[in-house]
Amino acid sequence: MNKILVTGATGMVGSSLVRRLLEQQKHVVALVQDWDTQSELVRSGDIQKINVVNGALEDIAPLRRAIGKFEIDTVFHLGAQTIVGTALRNPLETFEANIRGTYQLLEVCREQNVERIVVASSDKAYGDSPVLPYTEDMPLQGLHPYDASKTCTDIIAQTYAHTYNMPITIARCGNIYGAGDLNWSRIIPGTIKATLENQPIRLRSDGSMQRDYLFVEDVIDAFLELAKASPRDGIRGHGFNFSPEKPFTVLEIVNAVLQTMNAQHLTPIIENTAKFEIQHQYLDSSKAKRLLGWTAAHTLQTGLERTIPWYKKLLGAL
């Protein structure tokens, strides 16, 4: 694992993964569609230390160029349209990026005999289920645009693994948070930003939805373990859940952020306008612990303590 392609490298998880790979002195290539000056990949200067191929997942030519020209042996496929609300408003663009982008990338990996491939799926791939927590043997049945796109991503990855014996593994994570997340519609960065800017904290839901919240550095640990294990029998072609196995409601998350920021006096405004979002969703990670030796190293509190200072610096609040 020396020549590595990362899709979605300008996002929170991608930026963190690139930094970790550079620390390990790997040769990193990133597929970048849009140059985002606020991205941690750009702000940190890491983008100057890697090779960049410009292009979109929907276009197969830059994928072939990136993997062929740089003789890539490992791919981390994180690139996607990741916002549930955006998917609801723009399903076609979401399907193009998340579904077409996945099968085109995997087809190029097949052509080029890539040695290790990690595909980022999501807990949303499971859809809604009355049985909790989700385990990997449960059906994938997302019914709304974002959820369905992740169900398809997941199944396409399994198809390539099982049909062509490709060394693919699939990561299904809950809600990921940490430094570098600029999607302010998400509850943790949105609450931090509103608090720092003395703005109202607005909740789209009624505050009772339950989710996993997984610190980004724990996700990077998971992806690296998956990559190492991808060629192994019993691992290849499998999906793995990654979770701290301690779900929180939206209100509990808001209160934890406010307490960490010494702003417990603030009260969020509950708008309760969210549509087509699953009420309760959290994961069982015993398979990852058993087969990969992975467990989350951070609690919510330790994760927030590492996250909030980054936003304070970004927003000039120090």
- Residue tagged 């930003």 (tokens): 193
Give 77's contacts (C-beta < 8 A, 6+ positions apart): 7, 8, 102, 105, 106, 117, 118, 119, 120
Residue 257 and residue 188 in contact, taking contact as beta carbons nearer than 8 Å: yes
- Residue tagged 């550095």 (tokens): 217
Catalytic site residue from 134, 146, 213, 311: 146
Instruction: Name the token pair of 204.
Output: 């789209």
CA separation for the pair 310, 189 (Å, rounded): 10
Measure the CA dihedral 108/114/116/118, to 10°: -10
Instruction: Name the token pair of 231.
Output: 């060629």
CA separation for the pair 210, 246 (Å, rounded): 10
CA separation for the pair 17, 25 (Å, rounded): 12
For residue 182, give the amino acid letter.
L
Measure the CA dihedral 35/64/30/18, to 10°: 160
CA separation for the pair 248, 256 (Å, rounded): 10
- Residue tagged 């042996």 (tokens): 73
Residue 134 and residue 241 in contact, taking contact as beta carbons nearer than 8 Å: yes
Our answer to whether residue 160 is catalytic in this structure is no
Residue positions annotated with a catalytic role:
146
